[in-house]
Amino acid sequence: MAVTSDPIATTTTTEPATTPTPAEPMTLPVIPGEHPNEAPRLVPIEVVPGKALYKQILPGVMQVPLDLVLAASRKSSLWPMTFGLACCAIEMIATYMAHYDLDRFGIVPWPSPRQSDVMIVAGTVTKKMAPAVKLLYEQMPNPKWVISMGACATNGGPYTRYDRVLQGVDKIIPVDVYVPGCPPRPEALIDSFIALQELVMEERGNVGR
């Protein structure tokens, strides 16, 4: 008796994929709303940024304090008075020359005290010359500043033991910036002008002196 095996007898069958049932949505607790009478008052206000009138008429205009504009104008147009007392005046004159070019800072020497706003006391101040220096300072309009250039103008320098020499020009007029040296180089005077410009910006709230 012959036994035959059916090759198709061993077959695998795949069951159809079952789709997952969607989960039920989670129910949140009901939050009570505002009272109908209070709800309109609790609506956020729409913020509309304001615009100044001058910005509507002239767009692109920058708003700055007036004292800042005046101080910036003063520091960029310092007019030192041209007078010298002794050897420091030679260094002051050299600073005005083209090699150092003080005009790039807006600093222009002026021969009259009526329009000058900076006095550079360059040299030895004797008691005979002190009244003239004080008179020139009083003729300058406000606001005005003083630079004491050199050791002689600051404290008498090498002539401090002479009774006819003033022991510093600050004895008769107020001094804002002191420049040491005997004599100081033009670079030191330029540095004093930069320090004076910073001082002008710091005291911009002062109306006059």
Residue 52 pLDDT greater than 80, yes or no: no
- Residue 203's pLDDT band, with cuts at 50, 70 and 90, is confident
Helix (H, G, I), strand (E, B) or coil at 100: coil
Q: Which residues contact 92 (CB under 8 A, 6 or more apart)?
A: 84, 120, 122, 149, 186, 189
Name the pTM for this structure.
Answer: 0.67
Q: What total of structural domains would you count in the chain?
A: 1
User: Does any domain span residue 137?
Assistant: yes
Q: Is residue 143 part of a domain?
A: yes
The pLDDT tens digits of the residues spanning 5-35 come to: 555 555 555 555 566 666 677 776 666 666 7
Give the range of the structural domain holding residue 162, as residue numbers without chain letter.
Answer: 87-202
Can you name the residues that pair with 123 across neighbouring β-strands? none
Rounded Cα–Cα distance for residues 177 and 122 (Å):
12
Instruction: Provide the 3-class DSSP secondary structure of residue 177.
Output: strand
- SS3 state at 130: helix
**For 62-77, how does the pLDDT look when each residue is reduced to its tens digit (9 = 90+)?**
777 778 888 888 888 8
Q: What average pLDDT does this structure show over 102-129?
A: 90
Domain presence at residue 12? no
Cβ atoms of 146 and 137 closer than 8 Å: yes
pLDDT in tens, 125-164: 998 898 999 999 999 988 889 999 999 999 888 888 888 8
Q: Degrees (nearest 5) of the Cα angle 31, 36, 38?
A: 95
Residue 106: give its domain's CATH number: 3.40.50.12280
Q: Is residue 183 part of a domain?
A: yes
The 10s digit of each residue's pLDDT in 170-190 is: 888 899 999 998 889 999 999
First to last CA, the chain: 138
User: Which pLDDT does position 18 carry in this prediction?
Assistant: 63
Q: Are 111 and 79 in contact (CB under 8 A)?
A: no
Is 53 a domain residue?
Answer: no
CA distance 127 to 52: 59
In-domain check, residue 173: yes
In a domain, 51, yes or no: no
pLDDT, one tens digit per residue, over 89-99 is 999 999 988 89
Is 36 inside a domain boundary? no
